[in-house]
Amino acid sequence: MIELREKGGDTAIGEISEDQLQFLIDQLEEESLEDRDYAITPMLLQVFEREGADPELVALLTAALGDRETIEIVWRRET
């Protein structure tokens, strides 16, 4: 599984599958091959829904975002 965390902190967001991670990678801009962080906004979550994102992924990110304008997330594979 892949763990999502809030960037710059110890706040765990949750775990996602390889397919859900691939969706994020396909949808979001990466600055390099080592880039593992993304900015999530309410508008981006709407795009994800239109693009057929897994509802569980959208729900997880929506809960992490809460009432904020943006949240930066990072991912890592758990060993």
Count CB atoms within 10 A of the CB of residue 16. 21
| pLDDT confidence bin for 15, thresholds 50/70/90 | very high
Domain count, the chain: 1
Q: How far apart are CA 21 and CA 69, in angstroms?
A: 22
Return all residues near 60 (Cβ < 8 A) that are at least 6 apart: 4, 13, 14, 16
pLDDT higher than threshold 90 for residue 14: yes
Mean pLDDT score, 72-77: 92
Q: What pTM, to 2 d.p., does this model score? A: 0.89
pLDDT tens figures, 24-58: 989 987 665 566 889 999 999 999 999 999 999 99
The whole domain housing 11 covers 2-77
